[in-house]
Chains A and B, each alone.
Chain A
Amino acid sequence: MASTAPTDYPGHDASAALGERLRQAAAERTPLRIVGGDTRHFYGRPVEGETLSTAEHHGITFYDPVELVVSVRAGTPLTELEAALAEHGQMLGFEPPRFGEASTVGGMIATGLSGPRRPWAGAVRDFVLGIRLINHEGIEQRFGGQVMKNVAGYDLSRLMVGAQGSLGVIGEVSLKVIPRPLTTQSLRLELPLADARQRLAEWGREPLPISAAAWLDGALHLRLEGGPSSVAATRERIGGDDLDNAWWDALRDLALPFFSADDARPLWRLSLPHRAPDLGLAEIDDTAMLHDWAGAQRWLRAELDSEALREACREAGGHATCYGPRVAGVEPFTPLSAVLMKYHRNLKAELDPHGIFNPGRLYADL
């Protein structure tokens, strides 16, 4: 069963040119707005700066299905990466959302967004093995690597996930990939929200092959994945109606009618402990939300008092992100405590001393 690693993927190494641009920007103190496909521009605060695109720096540099490892440059379209993995029956375990063909790997890492499988399989950061970071001196540095376990030095690779490009330019990333499940079966159960929560709490304590669970409009949607025997047995036990597996792709890419751009109200993403009860805010009806991640990620469309919403989420043990469209006077991300902010600023000052990397995208003074 000896295998040969497929390594000949098209690509282009533009790290030297990117490094040169960074040196120039650092010398001139020019802030940069770093983009891949620029499909995630709506996410976070607007950045004032010269656009630096990673699109020219693209291609899979290493993929060995036996090692379950792929290394890929930041400018590579996500669809290209996923197609290469699919050819070998593998996939990204965290199901990142794709915002069109132009979405890149760099944007996926920088925003750190994960899809429906997240509570069971892990988030983007859980699959990151190593990173090549182009630093403020324009030097490409390697942290982590292509092995499954590595504790040499600080974990700067995972630190970059979700940092919104504010600590350096992600040049390349190595990811752990996983085999596609043998069987997938989706189903839909008509259930009031409270009952759905109760069922999910019970099932969560059993080793059932659930890989996605979302409640919307009076129905619980479930995805079962694993060996054919266990999937069939669980399907039998839970009941409900068959659901097209494609429903999860639509949820993953925020393409369900719930997310329609025709709705002008802002979209809020609430990240809460999965068993958190209703928020109890008079302005919102919990049953009007989309409860993904078995209740740990709730989507809400509403014009409301952001302070009150954030306070309710904080009390429930989570936080709220204003996902877009941007609302004047509302921070996209939940503000940090003063002491946490101090260490965020320290870290930013150490890794980006000239303030050139996406300044202000995450928070005004980062």
Chain B
Amino acid sequence: MNILYDERLDGPLPNRDPAEVQADLARHLPDMTLLHREEDMRPFECDGLSVYRALPMLVALPDTLDQVRTLLARCHALGVPVVTRGAGTGLSAGSLPLEQGVLLVLSRFARILEIDPEARIARVQPGVRNLAISEAAAPYGLYYAPDPSSQIACSIGGNVAENAGGVHCLKYGLTVHNVIQAQVLTIEGETLTLGSDALDAPGFDLMALFTGSEGMLGVVTEITVKLLPKPETAKVLMASFDDVEKAGLAVGDIIEAGIIPGGLEMMDKLAIQAAEDFVKAGYPVGAEAILLCELDGVEADVDDDCARVRRVLEAAGATEVRQARDEAERARFWAGRKNAFPAVGRMSPDYYCMDGTIPRRALPRVLTGIAELSERYGLRVANVFHAGDGNMHPLILFDANREGELDVAEALGGEILELCVAVGGTITGEHGVGREKINQMCAQFRPDELATFRAAKAAFDPAELLNPGKNIPTPARCSEFKTIKQAADAPATSEQG
């Protein structure tokens, strides 16, 4: 099934004459940057999942909120779809443009409006980079907790739209737990204030509904986040294992001992090797798996916890447990993990990152399943994951220039996700459905459940102009997906006959 928007399966799209749309927008928004030449629009043709590309009709780069409001109202009036883009680091083709639509790029909204150390909040524009918030808060001893590995590049608006996570989310929560208020513009150009500067707001929890809604309900134009005091100390233990399954079980043992680490991450042999080659993190090359366990808080408690975790890891069969001796070594241990994707990227022309989340107890079973699938499809898979919360990132290594290999990678990826669903998990923990996992949504949800999602969407965007074709599949797409699956699963009698 073709990944690009397919009107037969995803529903008809309005087909406006690009020249007319361009003229209309130029008339109403004479001061806004509007790109229409192919070479100018090329840089926007994909997000971080670069195997999927499409050129939009137009690219809009507004500088002011008034421009965004007018742009949305015009597109609404003209019936032109709008795809919002933050920094374009998404891994699910969430901001993949539409040929018949305008791409609204928010990168120029990059101002931190306010850091209030007394209130411990930051008010920022949507294009502000995730890491920039923590940097601006650092002089006050504060930071913004969710730390996706892409934090030097990804935007906070994109984080809200995806409900992004990071290695410290086990203890400090995801984006949804750390954003308190947002301003959004609806497709009709109305401004809504969601959430509150207080700890709750009257009415429905629309702040939660919009978090992770992938630009389908509105455009996020301002965000207030919670800042936390930096922990007094953070220490990291690295445990090596000669068996992936033992490492998986050790994760549960730590939690069962009543300890919630700041971060608890796992990497398998291939990922360890790749990271070591790339950043020289000091990882034990040759180990089948490592666990990185960070404990943070007040010095005295952290020392007690380190001793307890070390005992748990040893009892779980770790072959070696090392504690980072100083800040420099701690930073190196994390650099290996945070650079794992690009590191694996160096081993292969292309890689495809999965994002399934499973109950932790299913870890050994799913790892075995992935190894079998990797064998069957003939593609290598490196495993990196937020083990503490069961969020796996199997990285499938492939070469898009080899005839048919992308299709094989996609098929393998699809099976991994369906395995995650089969053990009680989900197809996406933090990267979102976007365009990429649109078919797997049909495996995770029943048609009536998908209809309820569409009802929620209809409350905000009944004309379906915001990011069409993403996040929630149509009934037509799901029935086609099921037909194809059944044909593939059925014994190929006709060929044998």
Most chain B CB within 10 A, of A149, A163, A333, A337, is at A149
Say yes or no: is B174 at the interface (Cβ < 8 Å to chain A): yes
Tell me if B297 and A226 are in contact (CB < 8 A). yes
Q: How many A-B residue pairs have CB under 8 A?
A: 268
Tell me if B304 and A344 are in contact (CB < 8 A). no
Partner of B204, one of A141, A321, A347: A347
Most chain A CB within 10 A, of B193, B252, B391, is at B252
Tell me if B448 and A123 are in contact (CB < 8 A). no
Q: A139-B448, A156-B453, A274-B119 are in contact. Are A149 and B165 (CB under 8 A)?
A: yes
Q: How many interface residues does A have (CB within 8 Å)?
A: 88
Say yes or no: is A246 at the interface (Cβ < 8 Å to chain B): no
Q: Which residues of B contact A321 (CB under 8 A)?
A: 202
Q: Which residues 135-174 in A have Cβ within 8 Å of B in the complex?
A: 135, 137, 139, 141-143, 145-156, 158-159, 161-163, 167
Q: Which residues of B contact A68 (CB under 8 A)?
A: 255
Say yes or no: is A199 at the interface (Cβ < 8 Å to chain B): no
Tell me if B193 and A227 are in contact (CB < 8 A). no
Q: Which residues 408-452 in B have Cβ within 8 Å of A in the complex?
A: 424-433, 437, 441, 444-446, 448-450, 452
Which of A7-15, A78-86, A202-210, A255-263 touches B? A202-210
Say yes or no: is A122 at the interface (Cβ < 8 Å to chain B): yes
Q: Which residues of A contact B142 (CB under 8 A)?
A: 205
Q: Which residues of B contact A145 (CB under 8 A)?
A: 424-426
CB distance from A252 to the nearest CB of B (A): 16
Tell me if B208 and A125 are in contact (CB < 8 A). yes
Q: Which residues of B contact A337 (CB under 8 A)?
A: 193
Say yes or no: is A36 at the interface (Cβ < 8 Å to chain B): no
Q: How many interface residues does B have (CB within 8 Å)?
A: 101
Describe A's contact surface by its main secondary structure: loop
Say yes or no: is A282 at the interface (Cβ < 8 Å to chain B): no
Which of B103-111, B127-135, B454-462 touches A? B454-462
Say yes or no: is A194 at the interface (Cβ < 8 Å to chain B): no
Q: Which residues 336-366 in A have Cβ within 8 Å of B in the complex?
A: 336-337, 339-340, 343-344, 346-347, 349-351, 362-363
A316-341 Cβ-contact flags toward B at 8 Å (1 or 0): 01110100000000000111110110
Partner of A346, one of B173, B304, B386, B460: B460
Q: Which residues of B contact A209 (CB under 8 A)?
A: 297-298, 301
User: How long is the Cα–Cα vector from A122 to B179 in the complex, in angstroms?
Assistant: 12
Tell me if B258 and A89 are in contact (CB < 8 A). yes
From A166, which residue of chain B is reached at the shortest CB distance? B204
Say yes or no: is B240 at the interface (Cβ < 8 Å to chain A): no
User: How long is the Cα–Cα vector from A137 to B177 in the complex, in angstroms?
Assistant: 32
Partner of B459, one of A149, A229, A333, A347: A347
Q: Which residues 203-237 in A have Cβ within 8 Å of B in the complex?
A: 204-209, 226-230, 233
Partner of B163, one of A151, A229, A297: A151
Tell me if B203 and A333 are in contact (CB < 8 A). yes
Tell me if B212 and A154 are in contact (CB < 8 A). yes
B456-487 Cβ-contact flags toward A at 8 Å (1 or 0): 11111000000000011000000000000000
CB distance from B439 to the nearest CB of A (A): 12
A47-83 Cβ-contact flags toward B at 8 Å (1 or 0): 0000000000000000011111100000000000000
CB distance from B356 to the nearest CB of A (A): 9
CB distance from B337 to the nearest CB of A (A): 17
Given A271-B200, A350-B455, 15 additional A-B pairs, CB 8 A? A1-B256, A67-B359, A126-B173, A141-B448, A141-B452, A146-B424, A148-B391, A151-B162, A152-B445, A154-B216, A156-B456, A227-B297, A229-B304, A319-B198, A344-B203
Q: What are 12 A-B interface contacts by the 8 Å CB criterion?
A: A2-B249, A118-B199, A145-B424, A147-B390, A147-B425, A150-B429, A154-B471, A158-B208, A227-B301, A273-B198, A340-B193, A347-B456
